[in-house]
Every structure is written in C-alpha cells, then in structure tokens.
Amino acid sequence: MNNDLYFKYQPRYYNGEISSYEALLRSDINNFNVEKFVYLIENSAAFDLNIIGKVLQDRKSLHICDDVSISLNISIASLLDDVFIRKCLNIFEHEKNITLELTNHDQTDDFDGIQKSILLLKEQGVNFALDDYGKGYLNTDIFLYLDVDYIKLDRRLIRNIENNYISYSILKSKYDHIVNVLDKVVILEGIETFEQFNLVKEFGDMFYQGFYFSMPINIGDIEKTSFTKYKVKSERIQFSLQLDQAIFDLNRSQEPKNVKQAIDNIKRIDKYNIIGLTSNTFDLYSERHRINKNYREIIKNKKHSHYMLAASLVCGCDGAVVIRDVDGNVIFNNDHFIRFMGVDLVDMPIDQVCEQVTDYRTTLHVESELLQSDSCFMMSDEVMKTKNGMELVHVYRQKVSHFGQNFVVCSVYEAIDTIVIDELTNCYQKNYLSSSYMKQHKILVFIDLDGFKAINDNLGHCIGDEILRDFAQTLKSMLRDSDVMVRFGGDEFIILLNSHVMTTVQQRIVQLRTDIEAYFSQKDMKLSFSYGVASLQNGVETALKQADNRMYQEKSFRKRKLDTVKLA
C-alpha cells in the first residue's frame, strides 16, 4: 500500500453506544482523491489484503485490541480471487470482530461466486455489509439478496431529508424494504445534523454514523466497543418475500406440470391459505390467474386506510389478542399480549407453550369445543398466570373462517377490580371480597382448618404448604362452577355461594367436610375444618363477623366434644 496512505477510524453507534469503528483510508497529498484511486486499482485482491493487514496491525497496537470491532472496505470483486479467499480464511481463523464492507458493485455480476465466498468466510466468524447502497451501481439491487449481515445506505440518500419529503420517503421506503422484507440490518452513514437524526431514529433499529456524532479519529483514540445485542437474524426468508418469489415462479411456468408444482409450492409456503388457493386442478391457468388477482388485491388492500385501521386495532388495542389455528398453534399475538403474559408464543411448539403457560391444555380444550360447536362466540372469566402472577381475566373467543380454515381469535382483558390470585392455593385473595363480583353471591361460609397446626409443627412448613395446596385444590374440585373459594389468610378460607337456602348450604358444607376428612384419612392424616355460615344480605363486613363468630362457636363445640370422647 502507498506509504502516503493511512487510516482514520469513524465510530459507528447503536442505541447511543459505539458498536464498532469503520476504517477510512486517508492521504495528506493535496487534491488526492482516495475513492478514485481505489476504484482504478487493477489488482483489487492484493490491495485489499494489504488493507486488511494494515488495519489489523493498527488494532494490535491497542491494549484493548480484542475488545474493538472494526469494519473495513474491500472490493466485491476480491471475493472471486482464490488467493484472497485462502489468505483471508487463514487470517480470520485468529482475528475476530471484523466486518468486511463490499464496495465497487459494478466490477462483477457473479452473484453465485460472491455468495459462495461469503459463506466460506462467515464460517470463520467474518461479518459482511453491502456498502454504498443507493450510490447508483447497476448491480446493487441484485447483491441485496446476498447473505450479508448489514446493508449500508449511502450518504446521498440522507441528504436534504429534513427539507424534502420525497427524499425522506425514498429513504424510509428503502429502510422498510431492507428490514421488513429482506430481514437485514441497516447501517445509515452521513448523518450530519440533529434534524436528520431526529427523523431517521424513528424508523426503527439501525446502526448510524456521521459527523453529527463524531469525526474520524486516530487509532490511538479508539475506545472499547460495546457488545451489541441486536435482533437475531431469522433463519428463514420473510414470508412476504417467499410468497413473492413463489408467485414469480408460478408466472414464469409454462408447462402444466410446472404450473402445478408452482401452485403446490405456494400451498406449502402459505400454510394458512392467505391467498385463497382452491382445489381446482383441472384448469391450472385459470387458477394461476385467480391467484394473481387475489395477490394484487392483498397488496392493494395493505395500503387502504380501512386495512391499516383493522391491523392497528388488532396490534395496538388495549386487549391482549392471540389467534390460534385448529391445532392450537399461536399464529399471532399482539404486543399487549406479549407484555401481559411475558412471552411471545408465535411459532413456539405447543409442548413448549404448555411448559411456560399454566393450564394451556385446558385453553386448547375449551377452544377445541368452540371449533367443533355450532356457536361462533364464547366468553368466560378465567384465572391465568401472567408475568404479574395469577390474575382473574375476562376472555372472549370468536371462531372465524378463512378460505375453509377455522381459527380462534381470543381477546383477554384484565378484570377491572384487579383481583389477585393466591400463588400457593390458586384461590382468590382477600381483595375479592371488596370487588364488584361479590354482588353475585348470597351466602358466605367461613372455614378454619382443624388439625393443620399439628401437621405444620411436626412435618415442617414445606409439607404444611403442600397440605394447604392439596386441601384447597381438593375442596375446589368438590364445589360447583358458580361457587368461589377465597384464601382469607393462613389456614382460613371463605366459600361464596349463590344459594338462598341456609339449611341447604349447611347440609352441603357438612357433606364437604365428611368428604375432606375421608380424603386425608386415606393419606394417614387427620385434617378437617370448622365453619360458620352467614347471609350476605347486609353486606360483606356483617357476614364476615357473623360467620367468624359461628365458626369459633362450632370449633369450640367440636373441641369440647372431642375432649369428652377422650375422657370417656
């Protein structure tokens, strides 16, 4: 490399921290055009090897060299040179945290050869960026589909975006295409003003650099770069790109056999039949025409305000929305659902979902019944384990059909009263008694366990907790669906019933106690309970006092009776 040439290093940022430095070739010779000089070099592979060696030598001069990520430019044509690839494989077996930015796209159109070399070097840990996108090279759009990690938008795309909407919209459309269709990461260079940065930062995640943040610096001024936790690149091509490619294959097919294969491929990609395939195998060309018509309609509708509103309602509504197919697979959950549940369930295997979401099998069973019934709608109050613990929620399920396939759209809303569920027993906590749900109950039963203190003292609190959980779950299983069980505190519980007849309730509670005693007797444990019953006609506070007094009266009576039996 020419001795008059040297490197400056420009910081590149992500989320306000320096993620890497780009090596920029510089010269102090007056009127020396570095870019033109590099472009005219005949043996780009040899020159690029020199560039790599000099940059790595610069980095080794730092005591923090292992913690500095560096990007450097090479000609894309160098990736077609066998000697260059062989030497790079040796170099990058030991040198890490390097990104090669591919320039001079018009020097080759050998897409397959470039792709092969990229994959070889990526196995050694090298990252790749397609540099200068938007500069005007004829082949650049083809190279967008290379297996590179980053697409670097040329500085000309950002010029004047703060003053010209057309410039702004061109930049944004390119960003959206790269991120949302190609599933690649954007690097935006040339940010020089606050106004420019203020506009582009709202696009979404990206890496950025420019004079607004920092001028290029000397190697000795480099600092340790931060670990960048960016989104993991999808192993699969985005669905929209896959479908678009499949439509392309369909339209270029001429023979009936090839048309049929192309339609089968669309069916494989579009597993939920968004595009509306039919079973028409007799007139394949009419089916092709119909598929294209549906596809155009889908693309057109994506731009309509009513479509955008519908998508916004589902994605951004206050309710936690999840959509499942007939097999129980989650094909959509909105951001509110992810925040509410603390997990994104899309594409997660059902067995794994069942491990993370309590009672998920019960949810699938309920939705299976809805799918098989004549009804299209179901609503219920359910207890769900969310990121905040067990909560009471309102659940609304709607069965919908799309081109012959059924789905369940499920909307989950937090109960207004924010009722808390006891983690140990899965019963409601005391705040249920002050909620609006109390108006549906007529009678309150206060329960205090008999024999639990001895179990707790003799066997320890861990076993005691298991006994409490066992008692609560067993008693709840004996209650009716309309009955509610509340853990009042410690080993005290409350049962709320809808019955108006006090004597009937008394008989039920006695029978429940007999069943509970028999259940624990089979486990060689003496566990029972005392109870008091009161009407809710005069309010919760009055009912609690009355039921509590009656419970203690009964407990005292049962204890005296037991003592009498022992004396006899």
Q: What is the pLDDT of residue 236?
A: 46
Q: What is the pLDDT of residue 83?
A: 95
> How far is residue 243's CA from residue 233's CA, in Å, rounded to a whole number?
19
Q: What is the pTM for the complete model shown?
A: 0.57
Per-10-residue mean pLDDT of the chain, 568 residues long, equals 80 92 89 81 91 93 89 94 95 93 87 94 94 78 87 90 90 88 89 92 90 93 77 56 87 90 91 83 85 86 75 80 92 88 89 86 88 87 72 86 88 73 87 84 95 88 91 92 90 91 91 95 92 94 94 89 62
CATH of 5-221, one of 3.40.50.300, 3.40.190.150, 3.20.20.450, 2.60.260.40: 3.20.20.450
Half-sphere exposure for 455 (CA within 13 Å, toward CB) = 20
Please give the single-letter amino acid code of residue 128.
F
Q: What is the pLDDT of residue 151?
A: 94
Q: Of 227, 407, 430, give the one whose Cα is nearest residue 321.
A: 407
Q: What is the pLDDT of residue 283?
A: 85
Q: What is the pLDDT of residue 2?
A: 59
Query: Exposure string (b/e) for 186-196, b if CB count within 10 Å is 16 or more?
Result: bbbbbbeeeeb
Please give the DSSP secondary-structure letter assigned to residue 441.
-
> How far is residue 463's CA from residue 14's CA, in Å, rounded to a whole number?
51
> How far is residue 311's CA from residue 295's CA, in Å, rounded to a whole number?
18
Q: What is the pLDDT of residue 383?
A: 72
Fold for the domain defined by 318-414: Beta-Lactamase (3.30.450)
Domains of the chain, by residue range, sit at: 5-221, 241-300, 318-414, 421-567
Query: Exposure string (b/e) for 346-374, b if CB count within 10 Å is 16 or more?
Result: eebebeebbeebeebeebbebbeebbeee
The CATH classification number of 421-567 equals 3.30.70.270
